[in-house]
Amino acid sequence: MNIELIEPNLKNFVKSLRDIGYTYEVAIADIIDNSITANAKNIKIFTMTEPEMILSLSDDGDGMDKNELVEAMRIATKDPDDERGKKDLGRFGLGLKTASFSQCTKLTVISKKNGEINARKWDLDYISKMNKWLLLTIDQEEYEKIPIFNELNNIDSGTIVYWENIDKYDKHTYSHEIYKLKEHLALVFHRFLDSKESPFDFIKIYLNNDRIISFNPFNVENTNTQEFSVENIYYNGKKNSITPYILPHFSKLSQIEYEKYGTDEGYVKTQGFYLYREKRLLIYGTWWGLNKINEVHKMVRIKIDISNDQDRFWGIDLKKSTAKPIKEIKEQLKNIIKVATEKGSRLYTGRGKKISEPSTIRFWDLKREDNKIKFIINKANPIYEKVLEKFEDKKLLEGYLKNLESFLPLDAILSEMLNNPKEIERSSDITESELNIILQNILSNKWNKEQVENLVKLEVFKNKEEIINEIKKQL
């Protein structure tokens, strides 16, 4: 048997390595994972576009000596099957490199430990040219020019990650990436950024000198949020803690609060599971095929806490942005989904029943027939009965109203309810003078007792005591 050593074409390999699929905010979150694993308490990010687009991230963690730094720069420095420390948020030993290479072609890491500073650099253009993984050592004069390098002078230990030649973004739209980054970090690391939730692991993250405030997606500060008891499920002897939440109906929220917890993605897209590994949010806004994305379930969010030794059971990918739990775990989640979504649906189905509330006569009815739902004009409305009675061409009127029912703009209504529910005007547009015209019409016509009793139940007269009393005088 002949054996041949076939060296990879690094120029092509580097291109593939850069195209794994990281977004800007996901890549930076991956770098922050290393800082948290290194026991950092303060993480500072600085980025600018002029004279060139660069990013620096510093922390006050444990730092690395020369040998540790070289090992950290190695591709796939860890065995993913090795047992990890409880605070270790990585797995493959690839995050620093793959996340950085996805955004830039030059990665420099400077680290301080035991009073000694060491620096190493990957230059992908140089690697491609030499066709070898040649790690560069940079001297003090070069690394002291790096933005926020002075951060290391003020601490006993720490690390700086420096990106040069960030080539994925237009300078004119880069500010949008910064906005998304801020929102992403506030969510992904919210349990570390909240001192009440993580008194021992509490950290501070700064982005261009602005401190990032935690964003808890379960809106636990609102007393109308429903929090279920924790339920534990087990697989292979490992515990997974599940806590369902039902967010408040928008009628219980201010406009600002409603928009804040809906996020830019909206409530429908952010319903479902929120998977945390050692308090770090990995995946959110998915049902993993166990439940359909549904308007009436949009306030249901289910928190899952897992340990960092279960990645293979949950199918967590390299970027920590997708997961595919195994069948046995999915089966255990089904009953939790059923209970949570049933209770979550009541926020909307309970309100929907009011359309047929016996104490109020509505202008519309909800008709259920053959597993289908249709909104129809309420023909038991006394005003409808009178109009039909006096209208000469009854077939024309009924035909018009039937078309009105058939072409109700449900798509537009649903879209606005999803995206702008607080802006929808629910009060009647009928003015007092128009109501008085209706009243005079009623008083000038003969209405029997049943018709008058039904009139005062019309939703248009709700809270109109003076008009109701005038109508009742006909009894």
Segment 37-63, tens digit of pLDDT: 999 999 999 999 988 999 999 999 999
Whether the predicted pLDDT of 444 surpasses 90: no
Average pLDDT over residues 117-127: 94
* Rounded-to-integer distance, Cα 294 and Cα 303, Å: 18
**Cis before 325 (ω within 30):** no
| Cβ atoms 344, 218 nearer than 8 A | no
* Rounded-to-integer distance, Cα 218 and Cα 339, Å: 17
| Cβ atoms 246, 345 nearer than 8 A | no
Reported as a pLDDT band with limits 50, 70 and 90, residue 13 is confident
Reported as a pLDDT band with limits 50, 70 and 90, residue 352 is very low
Q: Which of 388, 379, 336 is nearest to 361 (CA)?
A: 379
Pairing of strands 226-227, 238-246: antiparallel
- pLDDT for res 443: 65
> Looking at 94-108, 167-181, 320-334, 452-466, which range is the least confident one?
452-466
Reported as a pLDDT band with limits 50, 70 and 90, residue 148 is confident
Average pLDDT over residues 426-432: 60
Domains (ranges, CATH) in the chain?
Answer: 10-211 (3.30.565.10), 226-352 (3.30.230), 364-472 (no CATH)
Say whether 72 sits in a helix, a strand or coil.
helix
Whether the predicted pLDDT of 364 surpasses 80: no
Average pLDDT over residues 364-392: 73
At residue 385, what is the residue type?
A: E
| Cβ atoms 251, 293 nearer than 8 A | no
Question: What are the CA-CA distances from residue 266 to residues 160, 258, 439 (Å)?
Answer: 36, 10, 43
- pLDDT for res 272: 96
Whether the predicted pLDDT of 462 surpasses 80: no
Average pLDDT over residues 138-166: 91
- The alpha-helical segments, DSSP class H, found in 200-242 are none
Whether the predicted pLDDT of 91 surpasses 50: no
Average pLDDT over residues 362-373: 68
Reported as a pLDDT band with limits 50, 70 and 90, residue 417 is low
Contacts of 363 (CB under 8 A, 6+ apart): 377, 378, 381, 458, 459, 460
| Cβ atoms 165, 106 nearer than 8 A | yes
Q: Encode pLDDT of 258-313 as tens digits.
A: 999 999 999 999 999 999 999 999 999 999 999 998 888 999 999 999 998 888 99
Whether the predicted pLDDT of 375 surpasses 50: yes
The enclosing H or E element of 299 equals: none
Q: Where are the beta strands (DSSP E) in 97-216?
A: 104-113, 116-123, 136-137, 158-166, 204-207, 210-211
Residue given tokens 């806004």 in the structure block: 285
Return the structure tokens found at 446. 């003969």
| Cβ atoms 76, 92 nearer than 8 A | yes
Q: Is the pTM here over 0.85, yes or no? A: no
Query: What is the Cα Rg of the chain in Å?
Result: 31
Q: Which residues are bridge partners to 240 per DSSP?
A: 233
Whether the predicted pLDDT of 92 surpasses 50: no
Q: Which value, to the nearest 10 degrees, does the dihedral of the CA atoms of residues 455, 457, 460, 462 take?
A: 130
- pLDDT for res 356: 44
- pLDDT for res 357: 47
Whether the predicted pLDDT of 19 surpasses 90: no
**Between residues 230 and 92, the one the model is more confident about:** 230
The enclosing H or E element of 302 equals: strand 300-306
Q: Quote the percentage of the chain above a pLDDT of 70.
A: 79
Return the structure tokens found at 156. 């006993």
